[in-house]
Chain A
Amino acid sequence: MVVNKDAVISVDLLIKGDKEEFNKLIDAYSEKLYRLAISITGNNLDAEDVLQETFIKVIRSIGSFQGKSSIYTWIYRIAVNEAIQVLRKGRNLVSSLDDEDTEDISQPKEIRSWDLLPEDKIISKELKEKLDKAILQLSEKLKLVFVLRDLQDLSIQETAELLDVSEEVVKTRLLRARLALRESLTYYFEESRKEGKK
């Protein structure tokens, strides 16, 4: 896990309710936690809610922080759990996409090169929408593994510990998530090619 090396946060001051130290904590970790939250929840408003709830929990439970991990890791874990709760609330209103067994994405189906992928590394609005849509279509289980491992740069072991599953399960889900997203994007690039779009 990449930790914010610039931030030195005093747990003692937080426990004492030091306002300045708490503001320092917000400034140090908000950006990283926001990226995590938006990757999991898929929208800005939910991400903001996740941050708010996370920091409230931090204030309320800082006294129970035992220092077994870094403060960042501890807060990160709270944020992941908050984001999962928000994701589940949203998903319940739409549909349950949590059944891994219904997904047949253990093998690549569409095999075409991506000739249309822009070389300039700028993600167009249209492509961003497609990326968002594809990740939203993943089951919660696959999405969480992909976000934590590939977007948040956690190790397989850290991802497994955070989600309370075995490393083998993480590996299986990661492969399925990557293949599913690859499949969606392949369709998108192929359709774009047919339409002669850039």
Chain B
Amino acid sequence: MNKTCCDQLVECLSEYIDGDLPPELVAQLEEHMSNCTDCRIVVDTTKKTISLYQQMTEDQHIPNSVVERLHKTLDISNFMKD
């Protein structure tokens, strides 16, 4: 394992995952990952972490009862008098 390359990958991990790195650097990191299981795992599990949280957030829906309460509580005419 090349420690320097691993450190560089961690440093650029977010930008790499978000696709914000220049192509030359991406190629360099992917070349490193092709020989480094640890870095492949870190990238893969970090991507999965983000994906799980995004999925969990998408699964969150506001209950109808909450919307109903908002409409009931928030009568704009009451607040306009202030």
Contacts and interface: CB of A to CB of B under 8 A. Distances in A.
Interface of A: 14, 17-19, 22-23, 26-27, 30-31, 34-35, 38-39, 44, 48, 51-52, 55-56, 59-60, 106-108, 111-114, 117, 121, 123, 127-128, 131, 135, 146, 150-151, 171, 174-175, 178-179, 181-182, 185-186
B70 A52 contact: yes
What is the interface of chain A mostly: helix, strand, loop, or mixed?
helix
Interface in B18-39: 38
A30 B66 contact: yes
Nearest to A31: B62
Given A19-B76, A22-B74, A151-B54, A186 B45 contact: yes
A23 B79 contact: no
Given A22-B74, A111-B41, A113-B41, 8 more contacts: A19-B77, A35-B60, A112-B41, A112-B45, A117-B48, A128-B56, A178-B13, A185-B52
A137 B72 CA distance: 35
A23 B76 CA distance: 9
Q: 5 closest pairs, A vs B, by CB?
A: A34-B62, A17-B80, A22-B76, A59-B79, A182-B49
